[in-house]
Chain A
Amino acid sequence: MTIDDQHTNERPLVEVRNLQTAFFTEKETIRAVDNISFDLRAGDTVGIVGESGSGKSVTARSLMGLVEKPGRVLQGSSVRFNHLETVQEFSKKFSKRTVVVDSVAEQYDGSMTDLFGHESVDITPQFFGYEKPESVPLADILAAGYGDKLGLVDANDCIFITEGDTDTIQDGFVEITRLSGEPQRQMRGGRIAMVFQDPLTSLNPVYTVGNQIKEALRLHQGLKGKEATQEAARLLDAVGIPDARRRIKEYPHQFSGGMRQRAVIAMALACEPEVLICDEPTTALDVTIQAQILDLLTDLQEQTDLAIMFITHDMGVIANISDYVNVMYAGEIVETTNVERLFSQPKHPYTEGLLQSIPGAQTGDRLTTIDGNVPTPNEPATYCRFAPRCPKAFEECEHVHPTATAVSTDVEDHTVACLLYPEDMDTTAAVEHHQNKSEQTTVDTPQSSMEVNQ
Chain B
Amino acid sequence: MSRWEYFLKRLLLSIPVLFLVITFLFIMLRLGPIDPVAARFGPEATGADVQRMRDRLGLDDPLWEQYLQFARDLLLFEGQSWVVQANRPVRAVIYDTAGPTLWLGFWAILLPLFIGLPLGFYAGLNPNSWGDYVASIGGIVWLAMPNFWLAVMLLAVLRQTDGGGWFGFDWYQLGPELRSITGTPNLDWYSISNVSVFDIVSFPMLTGMDWGAFAVDIKFILPPALVLGSASMAAELRIGRTAMLETINSNYVITAKAKGLKQRVIVWKHVFRNALIPLVPVITNEAFILIGGSVIVEEVFNISGLGRTFFLAVIQGDLPLAGSLLFMFTLVIIFLNILQDFLYTIIDPRVGYER
Q: Cβ of A264 and Cβ of B261 under 8 Å apart?
A: no
Is B65 among interface residues, defined by CB-CB distance under 8 A?
no
Q: Across the interface, do A204 and B252 meet the contact criterion of CB distance under 8 Å?
A: yes
- B-side contacts of A268, CB under 8 Å: 259
Complex contacts, B277 vs chain A, CB 8 Å: 206
Q: A198-B251, A253-B353 are in contact. Are A205 and B258 (CB under 8 A)?
A: no
A233-272 interface bits toward B, Cβ cutoff 8 Å, 1 = contact, 0 = none: 0000000000000000001011000000000100110010
Whether B57 sits at the interface, judged by CB under 8 Å, is no
Q: A187: CB under 8 A from chain B?
A: yes
Q: Which residues of A contact B349 (CB under 8 A)?
A: 205-206, 208, 251, 253
**B348 close to chain A: CB less than 8 A:** yes
User: Which DSSP category, helix, strand, loop or mixed, fits chain B's interface?
Assistant: helix
Given contacts A198-B251, A206-B348, contact A220 B260 (CB under 8 A): yes
Q: Is there a chain A Cβ closer than 8 Å to B140's Cβ? A: no
Specify the chain A residue showing the minimal Cβ separation from B262: A185
1/0 per residue B326-353: CB within 8 Å of A? 0000000000000000000001111001
Minimum Cβ distance to chain B for residue A314 (Å): 20
**Closest residue of B by beta carbon distance from A60:** B258
Q: Tell yes or no: A64 within 8 A of B by CB.
A: yes
B255 touches A186 (CB 8 A): no
User: B255 contacts A219, CB within 8 Å?
Assistant: no
> B260 contacts which of A185, A196, A204, A251 (Cβ < 8 Å)?
A185
Contact of A204 among B257, B262, B270 (CB under 8 A): B270
Q: A202 in the interface, Cβ–Cβ < 8 Å?
A: yes
B10 sits at the interface (CB 8 A): no
Residue among B254, B255, B256, B353 facing the most chain A CB atoms (10 A cut-off): B255
Given A196-B255, A206-B277, A267-B259, list of 9 further CB < 8 A pairs?
A66-B254, A188-B259, A205-B349, A215-B259, A215-B261, A216-B260, A219-B261, A253-B355, A268-B259
Chain A positions within 8 Å of B85 at CB level: none
Interchain CA distance A205-B349 in the complex, whole Å: 8
Q: How distant is the Cα of A207 from the Cα of B274 in the complex, in angstroms?
A: 10
A-chain residues with CB within 8 Å of residue B258 when the two chains form the complex = 64, 66, 188-189, 193-194, 196
Give CA–CA (A202, B274) in the complex, Å.
Answer: 14
Would you give the shortest CB distance from B137 to chain A, in whole angstroms? 22
Which 8 A-B residue pairs are closest in the complex by CB-CB distance? A189-B260, A201-B251, A188-B260, A204-B252, A189-B259, A202-B255, A194-B258, A251-B349
B46 within 8 A of A: no
The winner among B255, B260, B265, B273 for most chain A CB atoms within 10 A is: B260
Q: Which of A214-229 contact B (CB under 8 A)?
A: 215-216, 219-220
A205:B260 contact, CB within 8 angstroms: no
The answer to whether A203 has its CB under 8 Å from any CB of chain B is yes
Distance between Cα atoms of A151 and B160 in the complex (Å) = 63
**Which A residues lie within 8 Å of B259 (CB)?**
188-189, 193, 215-216, 219, 267-268, 271
Is B250 an interface residue, CB under 8 A from the partner?
A: yes
Q: CA A75 – CA B242 in complex, angstroms?
A: 35
B residues within 8 A CB of A220?
Answer: 260
- Please indicate which of the listed interface residues A66, A186, A215 has the most CB atoms of chain B within 10 Å of its own CB: A215
Residue on A nearest B265 in the bound complex, by CB = A215
Q: For the complex, give the distance between the alpha carbons of A220 and B265 in Å.
A: 15
In the complex, what residues of A have CB within 8 A of residue B347's CB?
Answer: 206
Name the B residues within 8 Å of A66 (CB-CB). 254, 257-258
Q: Quick check: is A346 within 8 A (CB to CB) of the other chain?
A: no
Q: How far is the CB of A249 from chain B (nearest CB, A)?
A: 11
Task: Give B259-289 as 1s and 0s: 1 = Cβ < 8 Å from A's Cβ atoms.
Answer: 1111001000110011001000000000000
Residues of B within 8 A of A125 (CB): none
Using known A-B contacts A196-B251, A253-B350, A264-B255, determine if residue A206 contacts B260 with beta carbons closer than 8 Å: no
Q: Does A190 contact B (CB under 8 A)?
A: yes
Whether B252 pairs with A201 at a CB distance below 8 angstroms is: yes
Q: Which residues of B contact A267 (CB under 8 A)?
A: 255, 259
Q: Mark B50-77, 1 if CB is under 8 A from A, else 0.
A: 0000000000000000000000000000
Q: How far is the CB of B355 from chain A (nearest CB, A)?
A: 8
Inter-chain CA distance A193–B258, complex, in Å, is 7
5 residue pairs bridging A and B, Cβ less than 8 Å apart: A187-B260, A204-B255, A204-B274, A219-B261, A268-B259
* Minimum C-beta distance from A181 to chain B (A): 10
User: For the complex, what is the distance from the CA of A201 to the CA of B255, rounded to whole Å?
Assistant: 9
- Which residues of A31-65 are within 8 A (CB) of B? 64
Q: Give Cα A204–Cα B261 distance, bound, in whole angstroms.
A: 14
Taking a contact as CB atoms under 8 Å apart, the answer to whether A271 and B252 are in contact is no
Q: Which of B252, B254, B258: most chain A CB closer than 10 A?
A: B258
Q: Which A residues touch B265, using CB under 8 A?
A: 215
Q: Determine the distance from Cα of A60 to Cα of B350 in the docked complex, in whole angstroms.
A: 32
A102–B277 Cα gap in the complex (Å)? 55
CB-defined contacts of B350 to chain A, threshold 8 Å = 205, 251, 253
Complex contacts, A185 vs chain B, CB 8 Å: 260-262
Are A190's CB and B260's CB within 8 A?
A: yes
Question: Which residue of chain B lies nearest to A184 when distances are taken between CB atoms in the complex?
Answer: B260
- Distance, CA A407 to CA B20, complexed state (A): 82
Nearest chain B residue, comparing its CB with the CB of A194: B258
Could you tell me the distance in whole angstroms from the C-beta of B262 to the nearest C-beta in chain A? 7
Q: Are A205 and B274 in contact (CB under 8 A)?
A: yes
